[in-house]
Amino acid sequence: MKDRNEIKKAQRIVVKVGTSTLNHTAGRLNIHRIECLVRQIADLANQDKDILLVTSGAVGAGLSRMKIKKRPDNIPDKQALAAIGQGILMHIYEKLFGEYGQTVAQVLLTKENSVRYSQYINSRNALLALLQMHVIPIINENDVVAIDQLKIGDNDTLSATVASIVDADALVLLTDIDGLYTANPQKVPDAQLIDKISEITPEIEDIAGSAGTTLGTGGMFTKIQAAKIAVNSGVTMVIANGSRENVLPDIFAGKSVGTIFPAREAHLKQRKRWIAFGKRIAGSIVVDHGCEDALIKHGSSILAAGITTFEGDFPAGSTVRVLSTDSQEIARGIINYDTESLKKIIGHNTRDFASLLAGKVYDEVIHRDNMVLMV
């Protein structure tokens, strides 16, 4: 299969390891599995590949050390356990990678590091500098200080964002299931593993559902959202079972392991990736069929006359989703107007703006240079 053969050429790889892979069902760290994965990652690095590891498990490690069985619901307790667990987890990684001659570095990120373009570029430069030094960055969200407004939310999204930031060739999400099935295999015994997903449709999102594990924060749904970021950033993504023997060597040998999401051929420019996947989404606008057609076929800007409605309360300069009339996301872009102004001009021609608005007037609601197609 072409896509499986192509992944053999991957030079820069992001590997994300989920809590369910790192921990026993009782909540304590699965040291044997961590050591197996470290050995596989170290061997990839020995092949002169750039490897970045996004790891869950800080809260789980804190739970284990404090002998607490259930993940807490409140943020202060989660942050406290993450503070305890991050040091434990990093110590284990440093010791194990050191045994295989690899140097590692801890990198803690929050959404703020990607929302501001200057911080997005700083994060990119720091990660690339580590790779240039042949160091393996070990990345996690900074749960200790992040609040809901600054949280990326889950490590699936974090790993896809990191893959986008560093121009990775491949992203592997290791979890406790073999990949995406046609239905939930825990409920439907004859559900079939899907080998390849070329397009993420609403039907694929419906199959993914939303359930996660008791120790983790995400489920298959977050992995599909991560796939959207990855493939649109030119990154091939694979979902596979982290407990499978030699899972990483087999994936990068081109074997049929897990579910593969082939990258789109056209890579987005750095600033366009930031618009689409770095900035926080503040709301959405819905466009009519004519505007949708102009966007997709001609790369046009969005004018007020083509907008039918919108959702959210956002200032000018926010990033919003652009939806079709049947709610499919077709683009993301930086909007020139706040919600109050948008209410006044929606459906109107540009020539009417001067009589409807005070202050600076833009011809376009979203200019084509500040927009990224998602279809």
CA end-to-end span of the chain? 24
Phi, psi at 346, each rounded to 5° = -55, 130
What Cα–Cα distance (Å) separates residue 90 from each residue in 23, 58, 86, 106, 283? 15, 9, 6, 7, 37
What is the rounded CA–CA span in Å between residue 28 and residue 251?
Answer: 28
Distance CA 82, CA 100 (A): 27
Q: Of the candidates 168, 143, 174, which has an alpha carbon nearest to the alpha carbon of residue 76? A: 143
Q: Binding site membership for ATP: which residues?
A: 16, 175-176, 217-223
Q: Tell me the C-alpha distance between 34 and 96, whole Å.
A: 9
How many of the other CB atoms lie within 10 Å of CB of 1? 12
Query: Beta 170-175 vs 236-241: how paired, if at all?
Result: parallel
For 63-77, letters b (16+ CB in 10 Å) and e give bbeeeeeebeeeeee
d(CA 222, CA 208): 9
Residue type, 265: E
| Length of the chain in terms of residues written | 375
Question: Binding site for substrate: which residues?
Answer: 56, 143, 155
Query: Torsion angle of alpha carbons 247, 248, 249, 250, nearest 10°?
Result: 50
Binding site residues, as ranges? 16, 56, 143, 155, 175-176, 217-223
Contacts of 16 by beta carbon, 8 Å cutoff, 6+ apart = 53, 54, 55, 56, 155, 156, 158, 159, 171, 172, 173, 174
Q: What is the CA radius of gyration of the chain?
A: 22
Phi, psi of 13 (to 5 degrees): -130, 135
Residue type, 259: T
Q: Is 264 helix (H, G, I), strand (E, B) or coil?
A: coil
